[in-house]
Structure 1
Amino acid sequence: MSKRSEAKYKLDRRMGENIWGRPKSPVNKREYGPGQHGQRRKGKLSDFGVQLRAKQKLKGYYGNITEKQFHRTYVEAERRKGDTGENLVGLLESRLDAVVYRSKFVPTVFAARQFVNHGHVNVNGRRVNIPSFRCKPGDVIEIRGKAREMALVLEALQSAERDIPDYVDVDVNKMTSTFVRIPRLGDIPYPVHMEPNLVVEFYSR
């Protein structure tokens, strides 16, 4: 299990955007960057800087993915047929922790990773505690036993903060979710503009 190495909202302030669309984000109050030099006027980014920023934003959105994990996902996306950028976001959304988050079983991507790690999830009837487990279309994700009564889960399901996308079919009564299909970029409800094409350019240098 990888450990979060920095405050989760630091990325928001570094990017100057509310990456997860949460009301608690400090960007809602302070749009400048963190640190004593955060309010300095920023210079124009180079092409490399723009690509790096796009990569850090997309990688950071999915929580505690390491650079090694993210690059491995990119390599898999490049190997597959079709548009590499579309393949990349499709693979990221196929992660078990991402599906749990999209199903609104937990409030944040960070909580989703921890929730899976603690063994609260079944996939097709079998316990899976690996957040990076890749779901396939038709897979049924189920919240296990006592975890169904956790305040975290009940509050997340009742929250009006996010909508459930149509590539995930949730049965709230049974506490199950079916991963219907691998989404395309336009299907994914990112709160901010993501540019996987720039990530492809970054790794193609």
Structure 2
Amino acid sequence: MTKRTSAKYKIDRRMGENIWGRPKSPVNRREYGPGQHGQRRKGKMSDFGLQLRAKQKLKGYYGDLTEKQFRRIYAEAERIRGDTGENLIGLLESRLDAIVYRAKFAPTVFAARQFVNHGHLLVNGKRVNIPSYRVRPGDVIEVRERSRQLVVLLEAVQLPERDVPEYVIADHSKMTATYVRTPSLSDVPYAAAMEPNLVVEYYAKN
């Protein structure tokens, strides 16, 4: 289980963007960063700064993954044929916790990770409690029978602020979701612009 190293809304404040599109984000009220120096005027960011920020934003979006975890996913994306940035997005979106979030079985990425950790899900009929579990196209994720009346689940399904993307088919009456295909960057409904090309540049130099 990954330990969350910082409050989710602090990530928003640090980035200066509402990266999950949540109505409660403090960025909706205060667009400056957290802390006593948050309101200082920002100078022009260097290329390295832009690349680092893109990496931190993408890493933070998926539940503030550790650097070791994120680097491992990037290394795998690099080994796959094709565009490394697109491969990176595909790998991140195929995580079980990401699919749970996309299917609206949890209100946030953090809640999705907890939902998986607590053993509320079956993948192709087998219980899986590892958030980083790689879901393959065609896999069916199902909320366990005894977990279907959880308040957090029922509230998440009703959330109006986001829709289920086309690469996930969710049936909320049966509490099932099917991962249809690996998405490209343009398929993923990010609330804030993600720049995996800058992440690739960052790791190419570091």
TM-score by length of 2: 0.98
The alignment covers a number of residue pairs equal to: 205
Once residues 110 and 61 of structure 1 are traced to their aligned partners in structure 2, the CA distance between those partners, rounded to angstroms, is 9
Q: CA deviation at 1:129?
A: 0.3
Q: 1:9 is paired with a residue of what secondary structure? A: helix
Q: Percent identity?
A: 74
Q: 2:70 is paired with a residue of what secondary structure? A: helix
* Alignment correspondent of 1:200: 200
Alpha-carbon deviations, 1:74-112, whole Å to 9, x = none? 000000010000000000000000000000011000000
Structure 2, unaligned stretches of length 5 or more? none
Once residues 20 and 176 of structure 1 are traced to their aligned partners in structure 2, the CA distance between those partners, rounded to angstroms, is 23
Once residues 69 and 2 of structure 2 are traced to their aligned partners in structure 1, the CA distance between those partners, rounded to angstroms, is 11
Once residues 5 and 54 of structure 1 are traced to their aligned partners in structure 2, the CA distance between those partners, rounded to angstroms, is 18
* Alignment correspondent of 1:166: 166
Which moves more between the two structures, 39-48 or 88-97? Answer: 39-48
* Superposed structure 1 runs of 4+ greater than 3 Å apart: none
Alpha-carbon deviations, 1:140-188, whole Å to 9, x = none? 0000122110011111111111100000001111110000000000000
Q: What does 1:121-140 correspond to in 2, within 5 Å? A: 121-140=121-140
Alignment of 1:43 onto 2:43: yes
Q: What does 1:21-36 correspond to in 2, within 5 Å? A: 21-36=21-36
Once residues 33 and 97 of structure 2 are traced to their aligned partners in structure 1, the CA distance between those partners, rounded to angstroms, is 29
RMSD value, Cα: 0.7
Once residues 55 and 161 of structure 2 are traced to their aligned partners in structure 1, the CA distance between those partners, rounded to angstroms, is 26
Once residues 190 and 64 of structure 1 are traced to their aligned partners in structure 2, the CA distance between those partners, rounded to angstroms, is 15
Structure 1, unaligned stretches of length 5 or more? none
TM-score by length of 1: 0.99
